[in-house]
Amino acid sequence: MELNRRDFLIVGVAGAVGLPAFPRVAAAASVTPASASEGRVIDVAKLADVRPGAALSFTYPDPESPALLVALGGPAQGGVGPGESVVAFSQLCTHKGCPVNYLSERKMFVCPCHWSSFDPAKGGQMIIGQASGPLPQIRLRVRDGIVQATGVDGLIYGRHTNIL
């Protein structure tokens, strides 16, 4: 088999979404689509009651799975409501399963156990910390002024599958 030298240059190709890592050329990032789990639909809150700054606790997809709904005041990946700013996440840190806190002034989640932190505007991407995955994002939709949870992107801490 002959390998073209140009092919060889392209290290780190991970399929269709891969970044050709030309060592000295800057290019745009790619985003890996998260896998989703289809779940039950539940009502979380009235959209009118969701205020920027506050975090609203609920459970999803079952009572053993705490989650937080936050309004960021600006657009967020997967956001619903005014300016696509309302998002929800599993509250369990994907490091060791401690419940994360929402710091409203900084608009970030921080885990008090080992200080892993997550960005709710970027799909729960870990800002810094020791977790081995983003914070799972709860998929939301708005029906008749009600924010509903419809599924989870990512695996919730402590489970081998989201729906037990």
Partner 1 sequence: MTSIPLPPPDCEKFDTVCQFCIVGCGYRVFKWPVGKDGGPAPERNAFGADFRHAQPANGDWISPLMHTVVTGRDGRRHNVAIVADRNCSVNGGLASVRGGGLAQTLYAPDRPTRDRLTKPLLARGDGFAEIGWDEAVDLGARVVKAVIDRWGPDAVGMKFFDHGGGGGGFENNWAVGRFFFSGVGTRTVSIHNRPAYNSEVHAAGDAGVGALTNAYLDARLADTIVLVGANSYETQTNYFLNHMVPNLTGESLDLKRSAFVGEPVAAGRMIVVDPRRTMTVAAAEAAAGKEKVLHLQIEPGADIPLLNAIARIVLSRRWHDVAFLRERTEWQTFEAYQRSSLGVDRPVDDVVREAAEIAGVDAERIVQAAEWIAAPKDGGHRRRALLHYEKGLIWGLKNYENIAAIVDLALLTGNVGKPGTGVSRLGGHQEAYVRPPAPGGRPALNVDEAVRRGETKVYWVGGCNPVLTTLRAEALEAALKERGAPVRAALAATVGQPVGARVTAIVEALKAGGQFLIVQDIYPTATARHAHLVLPAAQWGEMNLTSINGERRLRLYPRFMDPPGEAIPDWQILARFAKRLNALYLEDRNPLMANRFLDFDWRTDEDVFIHARYNFRGHRNDPAERYAGITYDFLRKLGNEGIQTPVRIVNGVPVGTVRMHEDGHFHTPSGKARFIPAPRPWPGYAAQVARQRANHRFWVNNGRVNHVWQTLYHHERIPFYRDRYPMPTIEIHPADAAELGIASGDLVSVFNDVGEVKAMAQIADTVKRGHTFMLFGQPRGAVGDLVSDHVDPATTIPYYKGAWADIKRIGPQPEIARAVTFLPQNVAQ
- Taking the complex as a whole, how short is the minimal distance between the CB of residue 51 and partner 1, in angstroms? 21
Site string for partner 1, 51-90 (x = CB under 8 A): -------------xx-----------x-------------
* Nearest distance from C-beta of residue 49 to partner 1, angstroms: 26
Q: Is 160 a catalytic residue?
A: no
| C-alpha–C-alpha distance, residues 89 and 158, integer Å | 15
Given 70, 86, 95, 120, the catalytic residue: 95
Interface of this chain with partner 1, residues 117 to 146, rule: CB under 8 A:
117, 119, 121-122, 125-134
Backbone φ, ψ for residue 59 (5° rounding): -120, 145
Q: Which of 68, 73, 64 is nearest to 88 (CA)?
A: 68
Token pair of 130 as six digits: 């020791």
- Indicate if 95 belongs to the active site: yes
- The answer to whether residues 90 and 66 touch, using CB atoms and an 8 Å cutoff, is yes
Residues annotated as catalytic (active site), given as ranges: 95, 114
